Amino acid sequence: MPRHNMFSGGVVPHPNLTKVDVLSEMKGNKMNKVWIEIERDDDKAVNHERAEKFTNLLGKLGLPRKVWLNETKNRYFIATDDAGGHAELTDNGDWFNLDAFGDLNWK
């Protein structure tokens, strides 16, 4: 199922890809990517804490998007844009662009 691209609002396969990534994949070039996943616990407080830590990690990696636990569905979600769009983290995680993370100027 396609998700909304958090950079342009367009629909692309993964929520953290740029248009360049999508075009590259469409041309047969493989994107370097990394899977990040959070475990779910029976304790909702632990799950909320893990979501907050995931949000902090993504921010440090240059992707300022909020992750939260929907208690009703017992699933993690990630904000896909600043207008309130969001997507479920299927399998409690998602693929992220390793090239974008790896090109950061670490200080």
14-63 per-position pLDDT tens digit: 555 554 555 445 455 577 888 889 999 999 999 999 999 999 998 888 88
Q: What's the pLDDT at 83? A: 85
Using 50, 70 and 90 to split pLDDT, how confident is the model at 104? low
The domain in which residue 57 lies consists of: 3-102
Domain count, the chain: 1
User: Is 75 within a domain?
Assistant: yes
User: Is 40 within a domain?
Assistant: yes
User: Is 97 within a domain?
Assistant: yes
User: Is 76 within a domain?
Assistant: yes
- Rounded to whole angstroms, the Cα distance separating 62 from 86 reads 18
User: Is 94 within a domain?
Assistant: yes
Of the ranges 13-22, 38-47, 80-89, 93-102, which one carries the lowest mean pLDDT score? 13-22
Q: What's the pLDDT at 105? A: 59
- Answer for the pair 88, 75: CB distance below 8 angstroms, yes or no: yes
User: Is 31 within a domain?
Assistant: yes
Maximum Cα interatomic distance, the chain, rounded to a whole number of Å: 44
User: Is 63 within a domain?
Assistant: yes
User: Is 107 within a domain?
Assistant: no
Q: Nearest CA to 68 among 60, 84, 101?
A: 84
- Answer for the pair 45, 71: CB distance below 8 angstroms, yes or no: no
